[in-house]
Amino acid sequence: MANARRFRFSLQSFSASSAKEWVDRAKRVEDLGYSALHLADHFLGPGEAIAGTNHPIQELAAVPAIAVAAAATRSLRVGCRVFCMDYRHPVVLAKEAATLDLLSDGRLELGIGAGWLQAEYEAAGIPFDTPGVRIDRLGETIEVVKGLMADGQFSHHGRFFNVTGFEGAPKPVQRPHPPIMIGGGGKRVLTLAGREADIVSLNFNNASGVLGPDGFKSGSADETAHKVGWVRDAAGSRFDAIELEIGAYMTMVTDAGAATAEAMGNAMGFTTDQMLAHPHALIGSVDSICEELERRRELYGISYISVPDNALEPFAPVVAKLAGS
């Protein structure tokens, strides 16, 4: 099994009520053997703008929280799953990312996405362009970030950005740049990811701009197979070097796996078996989850799994059994 197909696990976290809680969580994630701690990149607080999206509130801003988590740990990788490219000019994102990589001594994973939470854009007065325009802009963002992290003066004159007359500084520790994660659920963005990313994050197709049953259905077993195919077609000979990551948003470690999957499936419009096999869900005992993850790695090539905050401790025995294998 290639290194890109060895199991790794990350925790995705949104909130903490104090510095101590955040630092303690980062240390615990590391102590339990997780590879990385990720945030997301959202800024809406409580209110009507977020109420209809079904999205959790993210209390912590990504960049300072990443820096604190890195300072509190020794080997834990840190990052954002993923930075929204419309919330920062790529020149700013490149400098912040290179600085995070430098100050963490080369532990940053640089996730970048095209943005999707329409209500957040609207609440902040940021234009929400069509998916095609946003994905084109993401492609330019990746080009600018990579260019500024490379050696020498960089220039770029594109449809969205014009950069000229300077060299990016500082340079990241990881060369030529930190591993770039591109996430999404549609063909165009996953084609871009196949061409440009080191880590491809397979996600729902969130074209609706909200979280809901349609998004969950877009992450089914059959749909995930299609997504992996798009990545493979775009990646060509480099596919085996790409790490495939997925968020197991519904992770339930329980001895009542079938009953739990049945109840959740009824709510989502899936059968029990479909729910147990859903790539964005992990439901069952430690042993059954380990077996299912090995099956999915064989079937899809997915070896990097992100779980939510509430799974940190219950999922740790899975991490202990599979990490690095």
Q: Return d(Cα 141, Cα 193) in angstroms, integer.
A: 13
Model pLDDT, residue 72: 98
Indicate which CATH number applies to the domain containing 87. Answer: 3.20.20.30
Cβ-based neighbour number of residue 323 at 10 Å: 16
Ranges under pLDDT 70 in the chain: 1-3, 205-215
Q: Return d(Cα 252, Cα 289) in angstroms, integer.
A: 9
Residues in a beta bridge with 84: 113
Q: Return d(Cα 142, Cα 161) in angstroms, integer.
A: 11
Long-range contacts of 297-302 (CB under 8 A, 24+ apart): 297/5, 297/7, 299/225, 300/224, 300/225, 300/228, 300/244, 301/5, 301/228, 301/244, 302/202, 302/228, 302/244, 302/245, 302/246
Q: What would the pLDDT profile of 196-240 be if each residue is shown by its tens digit?
A: 999 999 997 666 555 566 667 778 999 999 999 999 999 999 999
Q: How many residues are present in the chain?
A: 325
Chain centroid to Cα 196, Å, comes to 15
Model pLDDT, residue 315: 98
Joined together, the tokens standing for residue 66 give: 């990443």
Q: Are strands 302-308 and 8-12 parallel, antiparallel or unpaired?
A: parallel
Model pLDDT, residue 1: 33
| C-alpha dist (Å) from residue 162 to 32, 143, 155, 158, 221 | 44, 12, 8, 6, 41
From 5, 7, 12, 9, select the one nearest 249 (Cα to Cα). Answer: 12
Q: Are strands 154-157 and 162-166 parallel, antiparallel or unpaired?
A: antiparallel
| Longest Cα–Cα distance in the chain | 62
Q: Which domain holds residue 135?
A: 3-322
Domain count, the chain: 1
- What pTM does this model have? 0.94
Q: Is 57 helix (H, G, I), strand (E, B) or coil?
A: coil
Q: Return d(Cα 60, Cα 111) in angstroms, integer.
A: 17
Model pLDDT, residue 213: 64
Half-sphere exposure of 151 (CA within 13 A, CB side): 4
From 103, 116, 104, select the one nearest 37 (Cα to Cα). Answer: 104
